[in-house]
Amino acid sequence: MRLGAQMSAAGGLHEAFKRGHEADCDSMLVFTKSNRQWNAKPITAEDVEKVRQAAADYPQIDPVAVHASYLINVASPDETLWEKSYQALKDEVERAAAYALPLLTFHPGSHMEGDATTGLNHIGRALNRLLAETAVSAPGVTICLEVMAGQGTNLGYMFEHLAALLDSAGRSERLGVCFDTCHVFAAGYDLRSPTAYAQTLAEFDQVVGLDWIKCFHLNDSQHELGSRKDRHTHIGDGYIGLEGFAHFVNDPRWAEHPAHLETPKTEKDADGQEVDMDVENLARLRRLIEK
């Protein structure tokens, strides 16, 4: 796997490459704008050149994936919020294209006071419009639906949801799935033993198709199987455990897939000193790789 972590873009997106290098990333996950704000400064030619140069300086960090804003909710029954979310998602895709970043992951959304079927229809409407309206502006960006934990009224926590959404958009080659281990586990799909891992991946293959998985988020879970709670923790410190992650890093099917940590950045050691946990978590994953 192309192991990496979510890297800060403070000071400009180009700065994330240096941080990724210092954390020993093979690939990385970034935001191209604040993940908690709707608006963003337009991307300038200077911004693009700085990212191009940083990518050239750190060619080992490849690919770079984008995570869309957490505010986006194209499952919303509120038409005003839906349109605002759609425009924000379209902007995220076009920003990724401007920086020549090949993958963008977004949360499918929450149906809120609506129902799951209607919410899925709203997401499907957004995907079809998005594919049409970015066909020229962002043809090289693969748009990935993230598997969710099922917290609240979140959609995308059942493999059937993902299959329905891909089907609604004609199984476009510009779509994919981001497989988040914490979310999948919290949604009720076990990953811990060899048998459980094999069964969960077989079910995903039957319902969705393994070829649709384009990237991973590798996060342990603070809560038990089927909790429907989205709470990440360090690799091996949660309910999935080290063995669960060993299945992923040793599975030849994922050999070139980018896989990113979204775990807490730092912790205090016994002496009260801050430890860079991206470095530690990546080391834990690499120690699991069978030679």
What average pLDDT score do residues 191-196 get?
A: 98
What average pLDDT score do residues 88-117 get?
A: 97
At 56 the pLDDT is 98
At 264 the pLDDT is 94
146 pLDDT higher than 90: yes
What average pLDDT score do residues 269-279 get?
A: 90
- Share the mean pLDDT of the chain: 97
What average pLDDT score do residues 71-90 get?
A: 98
Query: How many structural domains is the chain composed of?
Result: 1
- Contact present, 103 and 214 (Cβ < 8 Å): yes
What pTM was computed for the model?
0.97
Rounded Cα distance, 172 and 200, in Å: 24
What average pLDDT score do residues 88-98 get?
A: 98
- Contact present, 192 and 243 (Cβ < 8 Å): yes
List, in order, residues 6 or more apart from 111 with CB less than 8 Å away: 75, 76, 77, 118, 119, 120, 122, 153, 155
- Contact present, 216 and 176 (Cβ < 8 Å): no
At 271 the pLDDT is 86
171 pLDDT higher than 90: yes
At 36 the pLDDT is 85
What pLDDT digit, counting tens, does each position of 200-247 carry? 999 999 999 999 999 999 999 999 999 999 999 999 999 999 999 999
CATH code: domain of residue 161: 3.20.20.150
What average pLDDT score do residues 11-36 get?
A: 96
- Tokens representing residue 273 in the block: 């000193």
Rounded Cα distance, 153 and 175, in Å: 23
pLDDT band of residue 196 (cuts 50, 70, 90) is very high
What pLDDT digit, counting tens, does each position of 251-270 carry? 999 999 999 999 999 998 88
- Encode 181-192: b = buried (16+ Cβ within 10 Å), e = exposed: bbbbbbbebbbb
Rounded Cα distance, 10 and 14, in Å: 9
Q: Give the structural domain span for 170.
A: 2-287
At 252 the pLDDT is 98
Rounded Cα distance, 90 and 176, in Å: 16
In 3D space, the residue among 150, 232, 221 whose CA is nearest the CA of residue 190 turns out to be: 221
What average pLDDT score do residues 126-144 get?
A: 98
- Tokens representing residue 33 in the block: 């704008």
At 268 the pLDDT is 86
What average pLDDT score do residues 93-122 get?
A: 97
What average pLDDT score do residues 164-172 get?
A: 98
At 291 the pLDDT is 81
At 135 the pLDDT is 98
198 pLDDT higher than 90: yes
- Contact present, 146 and 217 (Cβ < 8 Å): yes
DSSP state of 25: -
